[in-house]
Structure 1
Amino acid sequence: MKVIVTGSTGLVGSALLRQCIADDRITKVFALTRKALPDEVAKNPKIAVIIHQDFSTYPEGLLSQLAGAEGCLWAIGGRADQFPNVETYKRVQVDYTLAGAKAFYEHLAPQLPEGRQFRFVFCSGKFAEWDQTKPLKFMADTRHVKGQVEQGLCEIADTDRTGRFVVYCARPSGILPPNAGLPARLAGKLYAAIDADRLSKALIRILLEGYKDKIIENNVLLEL
């Protein structure tokens, strides 16, 4: 399978690239990124690095480079407190994600052979909230924005009467880097944190095999 990976220089995105390279079921990875990748990744024969600066637009030339992709692992985003302000966070998390999904739905999914699906797997977050008016006691901006993305993605998928474009929203709790020390791992047990590589394997499995639910909670991710 040929897949698209975004957020390639981040914690989850870089782990996704490592696990895609290791998975024999994935034949090609289009690493859609604004920055160059490390040589050990970029020079791997499975990886096609595509530099793309504006994730709000998908011109014809870019889409032609992505032709043949049957899925996307979307790992752009993070928490609201990692951005200068909420407006910037919404632009990156909501606008970019929905623009990518819409472009893939309209241009890549219809090109697939009959009976094949384009699976869009979004790395969301635990406790994402769809109700934008609901008061939240912690991480309100992050949870509302993640919920807004999830809702928008599901609305795109619901407009597809052919069943060729499918959305999955994974909701991990805290994510541990591969080099996390013992204190971090012990603390992570308090909120059921998941290792980045383990999360990536779960996301890839969802991409390759699908799943019975659109929303996939952290406890399920830990078991996949």
Structure 2
Amino acid sequence: MRVILFGATGMVGQGVLRECLLDDRVEAVLAVGRSPVGVTHPKLTELVEADLFALEPVTGYDTCFFCLGVSSVGVAPEEYERITYRLTLSVARKLPEDTTFVYVSGAGADSTERGRVRWARVKGATENALAKLPLRTFAFRPGYIQPLHGITSKTPLYRVLYRVAMPLYPLLRRVLPRVVTTTEEIGRAMLEVAVNGCERAVLENADIVTAAGRGGRPAGS
């Protein structure tokens, strides 16, 4: 498998990159973003591009993991839509047909596009538009994501909240198993779905956890 990874400097993207580099099924990873990932590995190549809308078509890869995104908090609606919807579609439309495209959406995404919550409508619209492209698409809708293995959020407030929540994670996992996952599980689930497929095109949090447990290395390694 040859993977293009968008958003490798973000919290989810860091976890996906880690799993790709550790997995023997992955031959090569091209990390595309606006800044370097700060990781050196024989499998890893980087493409730093200030304007991702201007990205030229990339060939030679069969899978795209799209982890790039922005929080809707404190972001103008037009900017949120530009990054969440327009940029995602701009990238997807430049990929070869039949590429496996795994998109990190979010729990609560509104596939009807008619709900009252704007961010959910935009996420749902993005999922729907991707599904119409000649790609093999999957949308991941994780709930609460606990970062593992030293991975951190780029947002200072979130970094503090995750540190506070870390001791509570085992309890959250027992009490709310259907809405809690980790950066490791998301990466493993993406690889599992890319290799073996999934009967669902949209994976909710519980589906992600199930897919993560179906194969690969022992958890935590």
TM-score, normalised with respect to structure 2? 0.81
Return the alpha-carbon distance in structure 2 between the equivalents of residues 56 and 219 of structure 1.
Answer: 33
Do the aligned partners of 1:2 and 1:26 also contact (CA within 8 Å) in 2? yes
1:142-153 → structure 2 map (5 Å cutoff): 142-153=119-130
- Which residue is equivalent to 1:90? 81
- Which residue is equivalent to 2:5? 5
Do the aligned partners of 1:57 and 1:99 also contact (CA within 8 Å) in 2? no
CA deviation vs aligned residue, 1:14-64 (integer Å, no higher than 9, x gap): 1111000000010000000110121xx2x20100010112222332xxx3x
- Which residue is equivalent to 2:153? none
Deviation at 1:203, TM superposition (A): 1.1
Deviation at 1:98, TM superposition (A): 0.5
Return the alpha-carbon distance in structure 2 between the equivalents of residues 19 and 217 of structure 1.
Answer: 20
Aligned to 2:94, what secondary structure does the other structure show?
Answer: helix
Do the aligned partners of 2:70 and 2:83 also contact (CA within 8 Å) in 1? no
Do the aligned partners of 1:176 and 1:196 also contact (CA within 8 Å) in 2? yes
1:18-167 → structure 2 map (5 Å cutoff): 18-38=18-38, 41=39, 43-59=40-56, 63=57, 66-81=58-73, 83-104=74-95, 108-109=96-97, 117-135=98-116, 140-156=117-133, 160=134, 165-167=135-137
- Which residue is equivalent to 1:217? 204
Return the alpha-carbon distance in structure 1 between the equivalents of residues 70 and 48 of structure 2.
Answer: 21
Do the aligned partners of 1:27 and 1:46 also contact (CA within 8 Å) in 2? yes
* Higher deviation after alignment, 178-187 or 7-16: 178-187
Deviation at 1:174, TM superposition (A): 1.4
Aligned to 1:213, what secondary structure does the other structure show?
Answer: coil
Do the aligned partners of 1:73 and 1:207 also contact (CA within 8 Å) in 2? no
Give ranges in structure 2 of 5+ residues lacking alignment: 151-161, 212-221
Provide the identity percentage: 26
Q: Does 1:168 align with 2:153?
A: no
Do the aligned partners of 2:33 and 2:52 also contact (CA within 8 Å) in 1? no
Do the aligned partners of 1:125 and 1:170 also contact (CA within 8 Å) in 2? yes
| Aligned amino acid, residue 129 of structure 1 | D
Number of residue-to-residue matches in the alignment: 194
Aligned to 1:183, what secondary structure does the other structure show?
Answer: helix
Superposition misfits of 4+ residues, deviation over 6 angstroms: none
Do the aligned partners of 2:101 and 2:138 also contact (CA within 8 Å) in 1? yes
Deviation at 1:122, TM superposition (A): 0.4
Deviation at 1:210, TM superposition (A): 1.6
Return the alpha-carbon distance in structure 1 between the equivalents of residues 170 and 11 of structure 2.
Answer: 16
Give the RMSD, CA atoms, in angstroms: 1.8
Do the aligned partners of 2:108 and 2:141 also contact (CA within 8 Å) in 1? yes
| Aligned amino acid, residue 198 of structure 1 | E
